[in-house]
Amino acid sequence: MTSLIDEVLLSTPVFDGHNDLPVALRARYGYSVEGLADGRPDLHTDLPRLRAGGVGAQFWSVYVSSGLPEPEAVVATLEQIDAVYRLAARYPDTLRIAYTAADVEEAFTEGRIASLLGVEGGHSLAESPGVLRSYARLGVRYVTLTHNDNTSWADSATDEPAVGGLNDTGRAIVAELNRAGVLVDLSHVAESTQRDALAVSGSPVLFSHSSVQALNDHPRNVTDEVLELLPGNGGVIQLTFVPYFISADVADWSRELQAERERLGLPTSPWSWPRAPRPGEDPARVAEEHAAAFTAPPDDRLKSWLDDHPRPEVTVAQVADHVEHAREVAGVGHIGLGGDYDGVDHQPTGLADVSGYPVLLRELADRGWSRPELEALTGRNVLRVLREAEERAAEPLWPTAPLR
């Protein structure tokens, strides 16, 4: 017998807002895309688990470090975009590059996963309208205005205020995104930037991977006051699963871990931006350079602290609480999902990888969510936002004959 969740996912597969597989492939495998059809348990994402999770469309994050000089960030972003195109070319029976809402729906009917691109941080634009438009032609469908650091034109949620939201350049970039049919993504940005962007954007905005501040006072989470503005703009918040954003206990544990690393004189982050293979280099050899970040055991002193301070676990119910709170404040027409898989080292119990979306949907169904409400959450809302951004664009910059 077909369950309610099966019916939802057959009708409206999950349209996820943020997955960091491209940078995971860069860091761990020198951009090799092999093995994903057979299952890669060392990653959160592979093709069998995307199928098991009911994923029908994915915004692949083409994140690059906001610590890079902006011209270097542009090059690295193009390398990330190339990785997504190579993924789709390697697995054409499963993945399809998509540019429009119609492409996404056609991919659904073909039984393939629509693959779209999200640039995570305005530093990747290098303040160039030409770069922005070039990304749009390549299939970029959102730009997150900042990552963890401010740009010269927008404040980040996790940096010291410097701009005061958006300045004139920032407002011009939002207008150019609207003209190009590229969504303005407000995850990672300061509340002042969120408010300014909502005030000036002529198209619906997106929060590609955020949680709600009312349940955890984390700088990456969205306040109720901003959520209340979403219906007026038509935008969507795609609720994320990141434990630090979901749980105050995990956020506190993370801060204590950072403090202990500093006390011990250890790097506050063991991860650094990995280089890409040069022409003729073996990807495996390049990956070896970065492997220590994933395989080296922790310093014995830090291991002792970790043994005494185990990481708190986050439950599916806690994630569902954030989803329900966003629905209560913004409305069922303004919510979606953005797991942030392969962008963090640990996910909630039951949502450990991309196969977990049905677990969350069952939790919500058990709380009384109807089929139309679940379909709005999984994909209908994001499809609407994507279509409205296309309709309001000054001219289509995407190819009229999508790659198949």
| Neighbouring C-beta atoms of residue 345, cutoff 10 Å | 10
Which candidate in 123, 147, 290, 325 is catalytic?
Answer: 147
The mean pLDDT value for 171-179 works out to 97
Contact 341, 354 (CB under 8 A): yes
| Whole-structure pTM value | 0.96
Residue for token pair 């209340």: 228
| Chain segment 42-90, per-residue pLDDT in tens | 999 999 999 999 999 999 999 999 999 999 999 999 999 999 999 999 9
Residue 297: band (very low, low, confident or very high) from pLDDT cuts 50, 70, 90: confident
15-29, 103-117, 295-309, 352-366: segment of lowest average pLDDT: 295-309
Which candidate in 16, 18, 123, 342 is catalytic?
Answer: 18
Residue 140: band (very low, low, confident or very high) from pLDDT cuts 50, 70, 90: very high
Is 147 annotated as catalytic?
yes
pLDDT of residue 289: 84
Residue 400: band (very low, low, confident or very high) from pLDDT cuts 50, 70, 90: low
Whether residue 299 has pLDDT greater than 90:
no
Which candidate in 16, 185, 196, 209 is catalytic?
Answer: 209
pLDDT of residue 397: 78
Residue for token pair 């909630």: 348
Please, which residues bridge with residue 176 across strands? none
Is 120 annotated as catalytic?
yes
Task: Dig out the tokens for 404 from the structure.
Answer: 């198949």
Residue 183: band (very low, low, confident or very high) from pLDDT cuts 50, 70, 90: very high
List b or e across 200-210, with b for residues whose CB sees 16 or more CB atoms inside 10 angstroms: ebebbbbbbbb
Please, which residues bridge with residue 60 across strands? 19, 117
Is 340 annotated as catalytic?
yes
Structural domains of the chain sorted by starting position, each given as residue range(s) with its CATH number in brackets: 4-392 (3.20.20.140)
The overall average pLDDT reported for the chain is 95
| Chain segment 339-371, per-residue pLDDT in tens | 999 999 999 999 999 999 999 999 999 999 999
pLDDT of residue 2: 72
Is 18 annotated as catalytic?
yes
Which candidate in 46, 176, 340, 373 is catalytic?
Answer: 340
pLDDT of residue 396: 72
